[in-house]
Amino acid sequence: MSAAGQSAVDSRHRKSDSTPTLSGVDAQRLLEGRCQLATSTAQLPEKLKAAFAMLTREPEFSVANPGEKYQATDVMTRHKLPIRRLVIAGNCSGYWFVHSEHGGIGHGYALVFFQTDSKGEMELVWGGRGFYGSSSCAELRNAIASKKFADDPPFYW
């Protein structure tokens, strides 16, 4: 683990809803280093998909790929469409991230980071919600720095 990554993990604290909170600087550091991007859900590890499904309280991982149809509004047009669509995902220095858009009555975006724990399972490191979609790590770093993703209110992922 890099020194930057260690700093990010050590500075977090847990709120009552178990959502980790990081300072903006520490959250930005999760996107430092060499990043391998994933532009399809098929490129994501199964353990990451399982952790994401648990976080979003879905029985299984259900995220549309970029450009695919998903349930963008609260009006049901087709049953079984996912309510989330991948914007971008990847791994930066051991931290997996998933940036997705969420349809429904309150369309928005989420950015969540996971890392492998000592048991080999994925654990949530940080997450935030907002109204900003980004297609690159640089844009995501800037969005975190300018607080376009809020991590303080309790919310449903």
CA 129 – CA 101 distance, rounded (Å)? 9
CA angle 38, 100, 137 (to 5 degrees): 55
User: Dmax over Cα atoms in the chain, in whole Å?
Assistant: 48
pTM equals 0.82
Round the average pLDDT of the chain to a whole number and report it.
Answer: 83
Residue 8 scores a pLDDT above 50: no
Burial class (CB in 10 A: 0-12, 13-18, 19+), 37: middle
CA 24 – CA 40 distance, rounded (Å)? 27
Please state, for a pLDDT cut of 70, what percent of the chain lies above it: 81
CA 12 – CA 19 distance, rounded (Å)? 10
Q: Where residue 155 falls among pLDDT bands split at 50, 70, 90? A: low
pLDDT digits 0-9 by tens, 106-125? 889 999 999 999 999 999 99
Burial class (CB in 10 A: 0-12, 13-18, 19+), 106: exposed
The predicted structure's pLDDT at residue 150: 86
The predicted structure's pLDDT at residue 89: 97
